[in-house]
Amino acid sequence: MNPAPRWSPSVTVAAIIEDAGRYLLVEEHTPEGLKLNNPAGHLDPGESPLQGVVREALEETARVFTPDALVGVYLSRFQRPATSEDVTYLRFAFCGRVGEPLPGRALDTGIVRTLWLTPDELRASAARHRSALVLRCVEDHLAGRRYPLEVLTTDASVYVPEIKR
């Protein structure tokens, strides 16, 4: 008898970026239409969560992101009715600062634009959010949730090339 396949959540990283009372979001194409999201994406093999969030923020906003703290770690499930896709996400959300957009740097494929929204504008646009975590992460940031980056450890084995068998 073969053992059941191991459940593997999809690991994502998100940048929660606030400046002067506004939060940086991206407007992106999704199978459900045009949605708002925190700059976020999947963690790639061979990178730490910190490296991943810096990369994703750069790809989606054309700005260099400097993480200051971990806002939280979130587990959520998404069921796409049209395709019966069922994915569980494990999200690491970081807050920090960004610089100005880098001249000549294009936004990642699927990203239409970046925009800065107030918390009230974010709450009012909840129906357009890619997931409930968009607002949840911002609300946790507003509530002052901050954990030192040192709570995360990436073992050196992550960076070692895969052994060929």
At 88, the pLDDT band (50, 70, 90 cuts) reads very high
Q: CB-based burial of residue 33 (10 Å sphere; 0-12 exposed, 13-18 middle, 19+ buried)?
A: exposed
For 113-137, the pLDDT digits (tens) are 999 999 999 999 999 999 999 999 9
Coil, helix or strand for 159?
Answer: helix
More confident residue, 164 or 72: 72
State phi, psi for 145 to the nearest 5 degrees: -70, 120
pLDDT at residue 163 is higher than 80: no
pLDDT at 83: 77
Percent of residues, the chain, with pLDDT higher than 90:
84
* Domains, the chain, with CATH or none: 10-150 (3.90.79.10)
Q: What is the DSSP letter of 110?
A: T
| CA–CA distance, 133 with 10 (Å, rounded to integer) | 14
Tell me the C-alpha distance between 141 and 25, whole Å.
14
* pLDDT in the model for residue 126: 97
Element spanning 87, H or E: strand 85-98
What does the DSSP 8-state code read for residue 83? T
